[in-house]
Chain A
Amino acid sequence: MKIIPFFICLLVTVSLVIALNRQWGSIPPIGKFVSPQHGFWQNADAYDKDYSADLKFPGIIDSATVFIDERLVPHIFAVNERDAYFIQGYLHAKFRLWQMEFEVYAAAGRISELIGDKALNFDREKRRLGMVYAAENSLREMEADPVTKNECDAYTEGVNTYIDHLKESELPVEYKLLNYQPEHWNNLKSALFLKYMSLDLAGHENDFEYTNAKNYFGIGDFEKMYPYLQDSLDPIIPKGTTYPAPGVMVKPPSSADSQYFSKSDPADIVENKPNRDNGSNNWAVSGKKTKSGRPILCNDPHLGLNLPSLWFEMQIHTPQFNAYGASFPSAPGIIIGFNDSCAFGFTNAERDVRDYYEMQFKDETMNEYWFEGKWKQATFRFDTIKIKGKPDFIDTVAFTVFGPVMYDKKFTGGRTSGKKYYAVRWKAHDASNDLKTFNRLNHAKNYEDYYNAIKNLHTPGQNCIFACKNGDIAIWDQGEFPAKWKRQGDFIMPGTDSSYAWQGTIPQEENPHMVNPQRGFVSSANQFPADPAVYPYYLGGYYPMYRGLTINRRLSKMNDITTDSMELLQTNNYNSFASMAVPLLLKNISRDSLDNNEKDYYDTLRKWNYNNDVNESGATVFILTWSNFEDIVWHDEFSKCRQPTTLPESESLLESVLKDSAYKFLDDVNTPQKETLRGDILAAFRKTTLTLKNLEVARKLSWEIYKDTRINHLAKLAPFSRLHLNIGGGSNCINAANADHGPSWRMIVELTDTTNAYGIYPGGQSGNPGSRFYDNFVDDWANGKYFKLWVMNKNDINDFRVKYKMAFRK
């Protein structure tokens, strides 16, 4: 034996193995990763992979069968609900485990565990907003309800059963790339996921930006720039509806004029915000407007577009209910869908339920704060944030009567220096069992069942739409909404006493609603739920109004409606905002004053039919011209304001200049002469033509190329994303397909005796990038196609659509 060369070679071999078995920066353990029997190759599912299986688990009470169809949609047939939710958890984990965990990590502020300290500010923000605190509060309420507890327990057990039987080679490829292992699931994680949705849908506010704008411009100009009312509004409950006197009377504190509406100190906070386009369309038409004589319900929630998709399609059949639709991997039940009696859907209520209070602490220890004339003890929550490759970070968060102190001297989101203390009061902190809404809706047989179901939905507030086979249609703007005085919470409020606290909750029955209206349809598209000039409570929030205008205008005119005509409406690209803005632009540009190049674009704009269609360049010319116009109008005012602000809404500017061509802010305050509407528009158009020329040369003038819709992988891995989709639409269109945001589940349900339903989402049933089912719906979705949703019957087991069968036994 040659000792020296032996040990040298041994050392080389062992070093090689160790080097290939560990992570180097963002490079995964490469030996483990490429091993065909262990690594990513095991995630490359065979094209003809068989999903059939015979499974025995002690968690199953009775036997149950899952039939999986050609689109990989599972149809669960269980004889009791517990087994049904166990299997739903198992299937969600089987197809979407990585996504479920990742979203919950994001909700709980745990991303640093995966990617290191670059996510620390993100994580601290989640913890300081009280995401975990909110989920814990809700979980107590959920687990106090035996139905919800059983449902969640069964679901959790199903997820964990899958995890416990998972071989290393079967780990989703993202775990292999990022080199970590899944944890066990628990009910808190389902609650955290629901808070993740609450943050997305009920976490938007502009309190810091509005406070700064109010301080800089004064409340008078602020009201001109950020008006509460909208002239062209067609609210969810039509104008002309009267409301009884409010059951809860609220009034501003006597100090409001001096302390709240007057100028105050700047607020140096720049927040991360949920996407402001989070919204949706839904409508239901009654049988008198349809060809079949039966109601049709439609819904398309507009959310961030990701792969794996937020949604997972499935059918759950038990003796008690038979529901089909889109489910959330991470939560039990069907969220948007239908059963044998009725259909249900949601759009976001957009209400501002997140407010800030400026607190006065005695000193930097934050032990005591001034409240109601004396020093009050704060409580503390110690958050340990694990960081990959670094020691843990411990964040101390003080809690006040209002809620957690989100921003203080130790944390401002990492963007500015903290001088003050801001506590956040967020409706999502309050305990509620929102999940029960979906459980009851899955079981609902009629309007009463629906009404009793949605009463459980507190946050995020939603416009809950309903249609039933007995002919009923209804909509409720549902949520537990604070009753506020006008402008309450739009600015940072003083937190030294309770006079600025929310004074009450809008009584349930006073939430705007409409049942079987004369006009034959109910609809919502995130606009104001009621006429804000008449509704007895303040409706602070951001309410886009143009999609609602298009929908209501079209639905009023439509008769003999079929699912086909609903598909066309749901994928309609008409831009009502442009239809009002373009004539204003054209009217104020004299074609003769333009050079030939500018004339070309002017003609493009003039000939445009206001449809944000594929191959249309008019939409691009409009968007860019409008955006330059806004810039010219606002730049001079805002460039001198040192604190973070947000520009007034586009609709506010449009309505202001339509009303008043001498709108105060058209003038450039930096020049001696007085700028006019005509001048501003012409300048904007001239500025735009330079950009347009460059786009045209680069062949990027066409709307879908300019807009460039994509579906990003959740961890932003480009090769796992779908880029450059051929789809029109966008903001203010019913087909709200923006760059990375849009209709995340299009559904149309005709409530005929045998339900006639269609649907599609931009993704695929499998969360595995190595599966042909990963993104197989994407192109059809972009092209506006739908799949027939097949509600399987017990005696359909030999149907050609059944491709695989999973048997679950105890």
Chain B
Amino acid sequence: MRLKFTIAILLTALLCFVGGLWFPWWEIAVASFIVSMIIPQQRWDSFLSGSLGVFFLWGILSWWIDFKNNSILSQKIAQVLPLGGSPYLLILVTAFIGGIVGGFAALTASYIRKT
């Protein structure tokens, strides 16, 4: 059960990443939807794994980019947006936005099955 949950998270992140190489940003919704369809779980688990998959992917990617960039850009964007100039808050917001979309897409797919 927990293994399935973990695999769903990892697969969501992987599929989202690969999709992102060719498709527009909203491919994360499609990717989370597909993973949720092929890995049947409880509804709450579907939502959570889809959500966490994108959350971790976007969080880790943006953190890594930010690390390599010495936060030059994130500090500025976090003032434009306005997040008090905090790179970490910006990374969190990034991950959260991705996570919400991924979660709802995964939840949608979970209603296709008869459980």
Contact = CB atoms under 8 A, between A and B. Distances in A.
Contacts of B94: 34-36, 41
12 contacts: A12-B108, A13-B104, A20-B26, A32-B25, A34-B94, A34-B97, A34-B98, A42-B65, A44-B74, A46-B68, A47-B69, A772-B70
Contact of B21 (A6, A16, A37): A37
A44 B69 contact: yes
Nearest to A9: B108
A20 B72 CA distance: 25
Contacts of B9: none
Given A30-B97, A719-B80, A772 B72 contact: yes
| Pairs A-B, 6 closest by C-beta atoms | A770-B73, A6-B111, A35-B25, A37-B20, A719-B79, A36-B61
Given A9-B108, A35-B58, A41-B61, A720 B76 contact: yes
B69 A46 contact: yes
Nearest to B60: A36
Interface in B4-33: 17, 20-21, 24-26, 28-29, 33
B26 A17 contact: yes
B73 A769 contact: yes
Interface string B85-109: 1000000011001101100110110
Contact of A32 (B24, B70, B77): B24
B1 interface: no
Contacts of B98: 34-35
B25 A31 contact: yes
A13 B105 contact: yes
B101 A13 contact: yes
Interface in A23-50: 30-32, 34-48
Contacts of A1: 111-114
A173 B103 CA distance: 28
Contacts of A270: none
Interface residues on A, range: 35 or more
B108 A44 contact: no
B66 to A, nearest CB: 6
Contact of A769 (B28, B76, B107): B76
Interface string A758-779: 0000000000011110100000
Contacts of B33: 13
Contact of A13 (B17, B29, B93): B29
Nearest to A29: B25
Given A32-B24, A35-B25, A173-B73, A17 B111 contact: no
Nearest to A45: B69
A68 to B, nearest CB: 19
A531 to B, nearest CB: 51
B101 A17 contact: yes
A70 to B, nearest CB: 17
Interface in B28-60: 28-29, 33, 57-58
Contacts, number: 120
A17 B26 CA distance: 7
A717 interface: yes
Contacts of B66: 41, 44
Contacts of B24: 32, 38, 168
Contact of B20 (A2, A6, A35, A47): A35
A173 B72 CA distance: 13
Interface in A117-174: 168, 173
Contact of A41 (B17, B21, B57, B62): B62
Interface of B: 17, 20-21, 24-26, 28-29, 33, 57-58, 61-62, 65-66, 68-70, 72-77, 79-80, 85, 93-94, 97-98, 100-101, 104-105, 107-108, 111-114
Nearest to B75: A719
A718 B105 CA distance: 37
Contacts of A20: 26, 97, 101
Contacts of B28: 35
Contacts of B76: 719-720, 769-770
Given A1-B111, A16-B101, A36-B65, 19 more contacts: A9-B108, A16-B104, A32-B25, A34-B98, A35-B25, A35-B58, A36-B94, A38-B25, A40-B73, A40-B77, A41-B73, A44-B74, A47-B70, A168-B24, A173-B73, A717-B80, A719-B76, A770-B76, A771-B72
A197 interface: no
Contacts of A10: 108
A174 to B, nearest CB: 11
Contacts of A39: 25
B26 A2 contact: no
Nearest to A35: B25
A513 B55 CA distance: 69
A46 B93 CA distance: 21
A589 interface: no
B73 A44 contact: yes
For A16, A36, A40, A47, the residue with the greatest tally of chain B CB atoms inside 10 Å of its CB is A36
A42 B62 CA distance: 9
Contacts of A34: 58, 62, 93-94, 97-98
Contacts of A720: 76, 80
A719 B39 CA distance: 44
Contacts of B107: 9, 13
Contacts of A770: 69, 72-73, 76
For B57, B70, B97, B114, the residue with the greatest tally of chain A CB atoms inside 10 Å of its CB is B97
A21 B20 CA distance: 15
B101 to A, nearest CB: 6
Contacts of B93: 34
A5 interface: yes
Nearest to A774: B72
A41 B65 contact: yes
Contact of A47 (B68, B77, B108): B68
A177 interface: yes
B111 A16 contact: no
A10 B113 CA distance: 14
A18 B101 CA distance: 11
Contacts of A173: 73, 77
A29 to B, nearest CB: 9
A21 to B, nearest CB: 6
Contacts of B108: 6, 9-10, 12-13
Nearest to A37: B20
A210 B25 CA distance: 58
Contacts of B77: 40, 173, 719
Interface string A36-67: 11111111111110000000000000000000
Contacts of B105: 13
A37 B73 contact: no
Nearest to B25: A35
Contacts of A36: 57-58, 61-62, 65, 94
A31 B72 contact: no
For A9, A38, A44, the residue with the greatest tally of chain B CB atoms inside 10 Å of its CB is A44
A324 to B, nearest CB: 28
For A17, A718, A720, the residue with the greatest tally of chain B CB atoms inside 10 Å of its CB is A17
A361 to B, nearest CB: 48
A150 to B, nearest CB: 39
A17 B103 CA distance: 12
A704 B63 CA distance: 38
Contacts of A13: 29, 33, 101, 104-105, 107-108
Contacts of A16: 29, 100-101, 104
A1 B26 CA distance: 25
A717 B78 CA distance: 12
Contacts of A9: 104, 107-108, 111
Contacts of B111: 1-2, 5-6, 9
A31 B68 contact: no
Nearest to B100: A16
Contacts of A718: 79
Contacts of B104: 9, 12-13, 16
